[in-house]
Chain A
Amino acid sequence: MKNSNKKIEDLLDKRHIRGLTSSEKDIVWQRIVSTIEKPVPSPWYLPTNIKFKPMIPLMIATVMFLGVGGTAAMADNSRPGDLLFGIDRATEEVRIAFAGKVRAADLKAKFAEERLSEVQALVTDARLKASASTTRSTSSGQAATTTATTTLSRKDQQVGAGVNVALSYLSKISADLEASGNLEAQARIQTVIEKLETLVNTDGVKATVKNNEDFKLRLKREIGGDKIEINTNGNKSRIEVREEDNRIRIELKDNGLINIKSKIESDSDEEDEDDENEDKDEDDDSEEENDGRGRGLEIRANIFQ
């Protein structure tokens, strides 16, 4: 009986199907992995391990992504302040949301690097625009007026560029904080943005932009003393905002982490400097940092939750 069974089994084994060859196996795997790693936003499929609340803007972004694939590609080259920047950010969020954890970490690092480059490009642009302005001078009787008008235009141009840079940077930080759910930090940045916009459009406000390696924008109301000063202090990933009685330092790290340090000053001695003395500000910063005066708060927010 056993021999009969063995014989039948041997015959049946002869019909064993040829399995996958190595190349077939690789080809099928490549098709699988390209589908897994390719974000395919779809309204009927959502990973359930992602919190729903932040998914609402992502779902909107997903629809945008589906409908404007070419626009999303164009948006990748946009910078803060550009119309397409919002789409670029939304596209990044969607890609991270649908990537596996290992891939998501790589994407976060990549996008953080892009963020730093965007800011650096903005600062460079502002510098270039400011230095491209020229002052004309003539020997005629109208020289003074002409020179004054030209100088004012150039200054407006510099200030305009500087304000754009500051607003773009702060708006980007605000959007990132909102997307990551850090509403307290986002509200803090929003108040700075609103103040900046208000001062820029207010009469009697003196505005200056430093024209060197650093970015520094200062707006000060002549009467009332409202003031805001924004500078990078030589570090392009960091922007410092100083107001009448407090200071905020915003630093974007290359792992996507935003450090926001806010300090409320109890002494305003250094706040009444004239424009001619603004170059001396830089040396004061390090002293203020260590003087231990005032109270403040520190927020660390990850723009990639």
Chain B
Amino acid sequence: MEKGQSTEILIRESIHGNVIAFQTLYDRFSDDLFRFIRVRVATRDDAHDILQEVFLDLWKAFEKSGFIYSSDGEFMGFLFVIARRKLAKLYRFRPLTVSLDEMDNDPSNTDESLAGEIAVLFQALGKLNKEDQELIKLRYYSGLSFPEIAKLLDKGESAVKVRHHRALAKLKELLGYEK
């Protein structure tokens, strides 16, 4: 199965039981999905487990009722919905107490001169409302595109962009940056 195959074809092949096509889908979408999950779980192992469960659920969904593809963004959103359900189930009885400082971010980000600014930024981030915090995390921590965020939050893409812009504006205000 060619890695350059469109998502639509890969989905169609996967519905027909083609494991290689399914693996290509996994290769294509697992990174972004993992980052989305990782922000919301305590350890990388937990994130691996959730990631595995999401793709197993996806396989079952393909087998049971098929899947109607509309866009890559929509498909990605579908994956995030599954992940959210898994996360909700995992943390139903225990609140997520992950400190952002404990997150394993990119090792290249070890510039100590920025550490102070980042710490201040986090404090300001905590003062945003939950919806804006979620949007910022999805955009920057999980690396999702606006269409993917829109699907996940079940909102229009324009609405998401507007909200994102307003969230940044609020952060600037909290940080005392020039308008």
Q: Do A and B bind each other?
A: yes
> Which A residues are closer than 8 A to B by beta carbons?
1, 4-5, 7-9, 11-20, 24-25, 27-29, 31-33, 35-37, 45, 47-49, 99-104
Known A102-B17, A102-B19, A103-B19: A47·B26 in contact at CB below 8 Å: no
Q: Is B2 an interface residue (CB 8 A)?
A: no
Q: How far is the CA of A32 from the CA of B60 in the complex (A)?
A: 12
Closest A-B pairs by Cβ, 10 of them: A100-B17, A12-B140, A101-B17, A4-B177, A14-B109, A17-B35, A19-B31, A20-B34, A47-B63, A17-B38
B118 to A19, Cβ gap below 8 A? no
Name the one of B16, B103, B178 contacting A17, with C-beta atoms under 8 angstroms.
Answer: B103
Known A5-B172, A15-B103, A48-B65: A29·B23 in contact at CB below 8 Å: yes
Interface of A is mostly: helix
B177 to A7, Cβ gap below 8 A? yes
Smallest beta-carbon distance A19→chain B, Å: 5
Q: Is B175 an interface residue (CB 8 A)?
A: yes
Smallest beta-carbon distance B158→chain A, Å: 18
B2-35 vs A, Cβ < 8 Å mask (1 yes, 0 no): 0000000000000011111011001100110011
Name the one of A1, A24, A33 contacting B19, with C-beta atoms under 8 angstroms.
Answer: A33
Smallest beta-carbon distance B49→chain A, Å: 9
Chain B residue nearest in CB terms to A12: B140
Interface of B is mostly: helix
Task: Provide the residues of chain A in CB contact with B107, threshold 8 Å.
Answer: 18
Chain B residue nearest in CB terms to A100: B17
Q: How far is the CA of A5 from the CA of B169 in the complex (A)?
A: 8
Known A8-B172, A29-B23: A36·B51 in contact at CB below 8 Å: no
A17 to B141, Cβ gap below 8 A? yes
A32-B55, A33-B23 known; 17 new pairs, CB 8 Å cut-off, are A12-B139, A12-B140, A14-B106, A14-B109, A16-B35, A16-B141, A17-B39, A17-B143, A19-B34, A20-B30, A20-B31, A24-B48, A27-B48, A35-B56, A47-B63, A99-B17, A103-B19
Q: How far is the CA of A24 from the CA of B136 in the complex (A)?
A: 26
B140 to A16, Cβ gap below 8 A? yes
